[in-house]
Amino acid sequence: MDRGLSLRILGLVTLLGLPGLVDLVEARPPAASAPATNVVVYLIDTLRRDRLGVYGDESGITPHLDALARESVVFDRAFSSAPWTLPSVVSLMTSTHPVDHQVLVRGQQIGRGLVPLAERMQRVGYRTGAFVANPLGGKASGLDRGFDRLERVSPAPDLDRVDGWLDEDTERPFFLYVHTTEPHRPYRSPADLRERFEAPARRRLEGLHRLMRDYRTLTRVDFDAGRPLGETDNTEAQREALAELTSRRDDWRRAYDASVAWGDRNLGALIERLRARGEWDETLLIVLSDHGEELLDHGQALHGQSLYPELVHVPMLWKLPGGRGGGQRVASTVGLVDVVPTLFDWLGRPEAAEGVLGRSFAARFGGGEEPAASPRVTAVRLNRVQYYRPEDEARGRFNLRVSDGMWQGIWNVDRDRLELYDHRNDPTELRDLAKVDPARAAALRSRAKSFLDSRPELADVAPSGGSPSLEHLDAETRERLQALGYVE
């Protein structure tokens, strides 16, 4: 069916009050021969799910995201593939798990055998552009492959430059990737938002940033110094740094919330620009995050250190053309690895996702019955360089998160121990029920183990000292990574 005709039918049946026909039209993706839809993937780096009103926050931090949710299909159980940007965004763009792509350490890039989303979009006729604030979402990870243009931004794009790129070629549909970093440390935001959220002034915020930098440096000191695990014990210094950071908790949270509000404002500005261009109704917009941020929820700071929900339970909104399915909530467990196959399935080009490991959830857009839950691994943490002694003793450096409906397990591979959580009654996952329900814990452990056993090349995953060199990156990219705290 012609896409424009489909939208006219949708308007007619809505006017006549025929909900069954509305559901039928909404559920049907474009045919393979239909004109392609413009696609925007908008990623807000380090955005916690619980800061969005659509997910229960009542403080009004994200008015634009909440308004967008009313036009979107909202996924209630979306999970990142990893608790920090590099492996997470590679999983998103290649539809592979971190244990499969093995891009796990800053300095690593995707192999030539992986086909990122931008290359796949080019193959089906899209022009491709990216405006990326975190280099790990672009050149530093090899994810610049397939983009006709990739611009570095900080922390969000200049919309006049986005307009300029969109105007260069109006004959072909566009795929636009925007990766912003407002909620990423150092948590900067405009003065009006700092005032609204009573966030620390710039000089005090810089002091907080230095404290975070010192804390993060201590978590890496032994590996970065080339010393093997166990040769030194800097545990007390680590604890002292964390205690000092904890004393600044209020400043920290207010600064974070102000930066989230800035990210929301910038997204709203892009949406208004698309409306002004007359392209809003014809555009598929996907808004998500690569991971969250731990604000001492489980006793630690920043991200990368665990698979708890504050880091891997992420927001995900799909605004379909014409607002189809707007306001629908989807309870199925989905992951960032599922975005690529879902996108091409909805576009009517499932063959373009050949070879991916995720699965399509496009059928959920029709509001159909939720499938029966089945256990699946949703996130992986495999730290080869981080060294934080209390964290290592409690969690090890290799964890798998396995989801079975509202039951969640986190398997500590190093110590063969599984934590079990009832996500319905304990959404922050503070009460480990593994000893209360050992049978369920054993079942989730078995699923996680079978996932790992199917990948025999990962039998030896012991961390190795040091990090791959960053010398292949240009000076500007290295400086940007340093500003975001990836290089000290």
* DSSP secondary structure, 274-294, as one string: HHHTT-STTEEEEEE-S---E
Distance in angstroms (rounded) separating the CA atoms of residues 406 and 414: 25
CATH code linked to domain 36-372: 3.40.720.10
pLDDT along the chain (488 residues), means of 10: 36 32 37 68 98 96 98 96 96 95 87 94 96 92 95 94 95 96 94 95 90 84 62 76 92 96 98 96 97 94 93 98 93 95 95 94 77 80 67 80 95 93 96 97 96 70 46 68 65
Distance in angstroms (rounded) separating the CA atoms of residues 246 and 301: 9
| Nearest alpha carbon to residue 49 among 292, 266, 253, 260 | 292
pLDDT of res. 472 = 65
Residue intervals of the chain classified under CATH 3.40.720.10 are 36-372
Distance in angstroms (rounded) separating the CA atoms of residues 305 and 464: 17
pLDDT of res. 108 = 87
- DSSP E strand stretches across 291-375: 294-295, 301-302, 313-314, 316-319, 329-335
pLDDT of res. 23 = 33
Distance in angstroms (rounded) separating the CA atoms of residues 123 and 142: 18
